[in-house]
Amino acid sequence: MSFDTTTFWSKASKHLMKTGIPYSSAVIVKAKGTRLYDAESRQILDFTSGQMSSILGHSHPEIVQVIQKYAEELDHLLSSMVTPPVVNLAERLGRLLPPPLEKSFFLNTGGESVEAAIKIAKIYTGKFEVVAFSASYHGLTQGAVSATYAMGRKHGGPAMPGQLVFPAPNAYRSPFRKPDGSYDWEKDMDYGWSMIDTQSVGSLAAFVMEPILSTGGMLVLPKGYLKRMSIECKKRGMLLILDEAQTGVGRTGQIFAFQYDEGVVPDILCLSKTLGCGLPLSSVSTSAEIERGCNEAGFMWITTHYNDPLPAAVGDKVLEIVERDNICQRAAERGQQLLDGLLALQKKYWCIGDVRGRGLLLGIEIISDLKTKAPAAALGKTISDRALDCGLSCNIITFPGMGDVFRLAPPVTVTSEEIEEGLRILDAAFAYALGKHGLEN
């Protein structure tokens, strides 16, 4: 039976409320492994892992088995009831995390986990100021969006009191340069802290950040940056909150991206997206000392799906597979292959201003002028649309001041052949788009 696309979009237009996010033209009816299948039976290679989440691919057979088992036996309970899947996930996470991170609880989304982490930091420190990067994205609930500067701040009324912005480290665009022209991140950081110390009213509670700023343009913290940041936070009595929604659970080549800087351990770690492999699951992890301080101060957090058993069982299985199947190594190997291919495309197409990222979380910045590095929104959209038409889903972000950046994050189960297939489609899409816009290569 053929799919009636006209009727489908008519129903969508009538009954779905628009929330500021344009709909994709593809109507997806099935997702399996690294492939999406649309209503016209077309195969589309998924280079975004759904919403940057399905790290093991879509409908991984072991994940499907866990969902089926717990849908039948133990799906949802009163939030005060503790179940084996929740304890098992907390135990496994505690074993994988470095000390003193040993206490965890589980929620649904990344925004929710950041919201809880910010409340923990405020209660534990007794202070209220929260610092975040100028290209940050931590969610759209009130506390999380107040610490978000990449998008979503407009038209929602006042932000939470005490929100301070820190310049995001952008090696491609930063004005801070060493004599040899390379990025001087230490001077950039010094400038940022001078701004914070000037703005602060003396109540610094936390700095919340991503190890790689994905929505803000796939900005990578340089080696040593996070370690220095940790030291600066401790000097000021602040907690360091790391939001590893997209970077966690092996995608960058390490189980947690913060391990890139040796010796760094956050005060609070938030996981989401990749932990649930596409299911709504997030976690907040901290130390026994911070838990003790919060409990003494009367901390409370509860939601309808707090510590739900079904998603917890999925998260436990995800971590088991990541360990067992050497997912970190796979991410590093396939990521290097994809990076090499993107760098080759950069040499071929002048409009690729920069290629950056780690593991299988990579970005391509599209520009319209080599000298000014001006962004190229229209060109980027044409490339993205053409790639989708040719069978590749890749995500382009075009926020003002961020440039136009493709985010490439295939499932870590992607094969070498699929990486090459994606690169061929990108190659053709760049050539097509330059021609369509009348630009010489």
Measured distance CA(216)–CA(401) in Å, rounded? 10
Measured distance CA(198)–CA(373) in Å, rounded? 31
- What Cα–Cα distance (Å) separates residue 224 from each residue in 180, 227, 308, 374? 19, 5, 37, 29
Residue 270 contacts residue 282 (beta carbons within 8 Å): yes
**137 given a catalytic annotation:** yes
Bond preceding residue 100 cis, omega within 30 of 0: yes
Residue 222 contacts residue 185 (beta carbons within 8 Å): yes
- What Cα–Cα distance (Å) separates residue 407 from each residue in 87, 336, 401, 430? 34, 15, 16, 15
Residue 130 DSSP class: E
Residue 166 contacts residue 134 (beta carbons within 8 Å): yes
Q: Which amino acid is at 144?
A: A
Measured over the CA atoms of residue 427, residue 26, residue 47 and residue 173, the dihedral's sign is positive
Q: Cα 114 from chain centroid? A: 13
- The SS3 of residue 397 is strand
Residue 228 tokens, joined: 């220095």
Q: Which amino acid is at 96?
A: L
Measured over the CA atoms of residue 248, residue 250, residue 251 and residue 253, the dihedral's sign is positive
Residue 185 tokens, joined: 């991140």
Catalytic residue among 23, 70, 124, 137: 137
Residue carrying structure tokens 């932000």: 159
Helices (H), 140-260: 142-146, 185-199, 225-235
C-alpha Rg value of the chain to the nearest Å: 22
- What Cα–Cα distance (Å) separates residue 359 from each residue in 185, 191, 383, 399, 409? 22, 30, 23, 24, 9
What letters, b where the CB count within 10 A reaches 16 and e where it falls short, cover 304-313? ebbbbbbbbb
Residue 186 tokens, joined: 């230490």
Measured distance CA(216)–CA(137) in Å, rounded? 7
- The SS3 of residue 201 is coil
Catalytically active residues are 137
